[in-house]
Structure 1
Amino acid sequence: MPRLALVRRLEAAGFRAWPAASIQFDGSWQIRLTAGHPSKRLNSVNPLDPSDRRDIERRVEMAARRFEAYDRQLVFRQSPLAPKELDAYLDELGWERFEETAVMSAPMSELDIDGGMDHLPVRDVGRYVDASIRVHGRDPSLKAGLTEVLSSIKPPSGLFVIEDKGNPVSTALCVHDKELAGIYELATHAEARRKGRGRDVVCAALRWARHRGATKAWLQVETANEAAYGLYQGLGFKEVYRYSFRRSGEGQGAVSD
């Protein structure tokens, strides 16, 4: 069982690094909604206290109405901070559990991130957004929403793009939040995989954060992504905890990460 204090610390850093446009609270449930971007982390209910288990049925219904107003499907993000009673209630409703994610961390001093080329972060948010959309293979219509999210990040952030013959092949966002360096949005273009590009961009981003004073690195990776999970393990990251998303079986549609 992970230490809840550490879980809370990393959850808070994650919220700061990937800010939702609207944040409301129902008790300790953080309700995050963003009209301009469909990311589940930006559009989900995040319970933050295992002991907050009152009026679950009524609160789920209230959350559903809020999400409906944003034309979003209600999604719960269930970390170790979520009360077990909520999971049990969603089980009774037959809600699907999907996209389990591992949160991994390590002291900078224990990571194998030296060697390889240094890459400076790009200063042009538009250039990074275009590169990220291309590398992820996402719909270009997400450009405005992603630009808004990146422009709203308050801690210092580095936008990293690795190119090959003028074309972006790997991208990553690194957010330096006090002693923490978080890696987000890592992706390598399908045609450039298995060439060490992902490792290069992660190492360059973490060296940048270490130079700025970060002493601990962390990230999130879907457990189904065995290649990425193996990359992070090879660098020295260790799993701290896992979370997963839950949604009703009705009206399922495409949901971005």
Structure 2
Amino acid sequence: MTSKDGRPDGHVETEAMAVNLPSVRRLEAVGFRAWPASSVYYDGSWLVRLTAGHASKRLNSVNPLDPSDYRDIAIRLDKAARRFTEHGCVLTVRQTPLTPPQMIAHMDKSGWPAFGRSLVLALDLAERDFGDGMDHLPVKDVARFADARLLIGKEDPESKAALIGIINAIKPETGLFLFEDRDIGPTAVSLVVHDNDLAGIMQFAVAESVRRQGVGDALLDASLRWARLRGAKKAWLQVEADNEAAIALYRKAGFTEVYRYVYRAPKV
């Protein structure tokens, strides 16, 4: 099966000629800690993440973490599918550079389509001079942040409890950034997760009414400044490959691509 541009459906291209697998492994690990699933178990080196009642693909997916772990692929996928069904989810595999080629070939042969193509970008914070002060401080009210995030993202307000639950479950230090306008309300949000020398930029969103007005740049600067002052040496984030505006914003700030991933699921 091929995509619209003629590449195999599971093809994940990268800017670099070779992907640094140790860097991928570390960013995968901090990514899991930054956005924790409610149920986690391992099948060999496959990390299975499940979160009933939440539609996030990152929270409901099989994540292979060792290219050499490809034994009994069909049997293990069938086992995982049963667990996903019990949680009311469809079996989904998150295919990264750590996914065994044999597993990719199995999904290709079985006709599993690819969707949700995303980029993982990183920035060396040591190369940025943020100064010693903070123009914007993070808020402490998780419920207020969740309301703003759902409003800006035009998401179902009923998912507020689930979003609050995920944020409260994050173990590393977090910074909740919320920009508001007196007349129009919330304009931008960002969740920064500080994990040792790394900082993840999560839930980054800017309201449509204020885009292309410098709000995104200011929010990103505030998020990175806070992370640097907390001791982070490098920032990372994940962004969907078709979000050209966001990618342009991040590249302008100096972020570069580390690797890409894509989701795969059986044809219905």
What range describes the TM-score normalised by the shorter chain of this pair? over 0.9
Matches within 5 A, 1:39-54: 39-54=56-71
In structure 2, distance between residues paired with 1:197 and 1:84 = 42
1:149 aligned to 166, 185, 194, which one? 166
- Indicate the larger mover: 182-191 or 18-27: 182-191
Q: Which amino acid aligns with 1:3?
A: N
| Matched residues, number | 250
Of residues 83, 87, 108, the one that matches 1:66 is 83
From 189, 196, 215, give the equivalent of 2:233: 215
Instruction: After superposition, give the CA deviation of every residue in 1:53-108 in whole Å (9 maximum; x if it has no partner).
Output: 00000011011000000000111101101101111111111111112111111210
Does 2:125 match 1:108?
Answer: yes
Q: Does 1:206 align with 2:224?
A: yes
TM-score, normalised on structure 1? 0.94
Over 3 Å counting, the alpha-carbon distance change for 1:84 and 1:183 in structure 2 is same
Aligned mates of 1:17, 1:76 — CA distance in 2: 19
Shift of 1:110: 2.6
- Partner letter of residue 170 of structure 1? A
Aligned-partner residue type, residue 185 of structure 1? Q
Task: Tell me the amino acid that sits aligned with residue 224 of structure 2.
Answer: L
**Aligned residue in 2 for 1:87:** 104
Q: How does 1:178-217 map to 2 (within 5 A)?
A: 178-217=196-235
1:172 aligned partner: 190
8 Å CA contact retained: 1:49, 1:81: yes
CA contact (8 A) 2:134 2:225 kept: no
Assess, with a 3 A threshold, how the Cα gap between structure 1 residues 142 and 219 changes in structure 2: closer, same or farther.
same
The code of the aligned residue for 1:205 comes to S
Structure 1 residues 112 and 187, CA, compared in 2 at 3 Å: closer, same or farther?
A: farther
Which of 9, 12, 15 is the aligned partner of 2:29?
Answer: 12
- Contact 2:189–2:219 under 8 Å retained in 1: yes
Matches of 1:123 and 1:211, distance apart in 2 = 18
Contact 1:111 1:235 in 2 (8 A): no
Q: Give the TM-score taking structure 2 as reference length.
A: 0.90
Q: Is the 8 A contact 1:105 1:237 kept in 2?
A: yes
Residues 119 and 259 of structure 2 are in contact (CA less than 8 Å); yes or no, is this contact kept in structure 1? Answer: yes
Cα offset, 1:117, TM superposition: 7.7
Which residue of 233, 248, 252 corresponds with 2:251?
233
SS at match of 2:109: helix
Q: How does 1:17-56 map to 2 (within 5 A)?
A: 17-56=34-73
State the 1:159 CA deviation.
0.6
Alpha-carbon distance change, 112 to 36 in structure 1, aligned in 2, over 3 angstroms: farther
Instruction: Work out which of the residue numbers 169, 179, 183 in structure 2 matches 1:162.
Output: 179
Residue 24 (structure 1) shift: 0.6
Q: In structure 1, give the amino acid aligned to 2:217.
A: R
Stretch moving more, 189-198 or 132-141: 189-198
CA contact under 8 A between 2:134 and 2:226: conserved in structure 1? no
Checking the alignment, whether the CA contact within 8 Å between 1:113 and 1:235 is kept in structure 2 is no
In structure 2, the partner of 1:139 is 156
